[in-house]
Structure 1
Amino acid sequence: MNDSFFKKIESKTGVPMEEVFALANAIQHANFNDERQVRKIVRKVGKLANKNVPQHVEDDLVNSIVKNGSSVNMADIQKMMGN
C-alpha cells in the first residue's frame, strides 16, 4: 500500500493511520477472554469512530465478546451499536 492510499483514508475518516495501526495491533494481540482488555478495545473503537457508546451497550459488547472468546462477530457488534 502506498502513502496516498493511507492519506485518503485519513482524510475521509479523520483518524490518523497511526491510531488505526495501534488499534489493529492491540486487537491482533488481545486476549478476548480478558474483560478488562476487551473493554479497553471497545472504548478505543468507540473513540476512534467518534461514537458515544452507552455503558449498557459497552457491557453487552464486552460480555458477548468475552463469552465467545476469540470469535468476534462484527455484524453482532454493529447491531448492538445501532448501525
Structure 2
Amino acid sequence: MQNPFFKQIESKTGVDMEEIFALANAIQYADFTNEKQVRKIVKKVSRIANKPVTKELEDQIVNSILQEGQSLDLGKIQKMLG
C-alpha cells in the first residue's frame, strides 16, 4: 500500500493495511451462521488487534455472533476482547 495516509496509519498502529482490507472483505462476504467462518474471523480480529483470546472467550464470542446470525457487531467483539 503506497498511499501516504495508509502508511501513516500503519506506522501509528503497527497494523498492515492489507490485513485490514482482507479482514473487511472477509467480514463483508461472511456467512455469520457458519461457525467455521465466524471462528476464522474472530481469530483474525484477535491476531490483528494483538489481543489473545482464550478458547472459552472465543466460544463466547462465536456463540454470541451465531445467535444474532446475520451481522457482526465489531463493538461487541471489541468489548469482549477488552
| Runs of 4 or more consecutive aligned structure 1 residues displaced over 6 Å after TM superposition | none
**For the residues of structure 2 that align with 1:78 and 1:25, how far apart are their CA atoms?**
18
Counterpart in 1 of 2:11?
Answer: 11
Mind listing any 5+ residue stretches in structure 2 that lack a counterpart?
A: none
Cα RMSD of the aligned pairs, angstroms, is: 1.4
Q: C-alpha deviations, 1:34-57, integer Å up to 9, x for none?
A: 000000000001001111111111
TM-score by length of 2: 0.89
Counterpart in 1 of 2:26?
Answer: 26
Percent of pairs with identical residues: 59
Superposed counterparts of 1:1-83, under 5 Å: 3-81=3-81, 83=82
The structural deviation recorded for 1:64 is 0.4
The structural deviation recorded for 1:75 is 3.2
- How many positions carry a matched residue from both structures? 81
Mind listing any 5+ residue stretches in structure 1 that lack a counterpart?
A: none
More off after superposition, 11-20 vs 59-68 = 11-20
**For the residues of structure 1 that align with 2:11 and 2:25, how far apart are their CA atoms?**
22
TM-score by length of 1: 0.88
More off after superposition, 29-38 vs 66-75 = 66-75
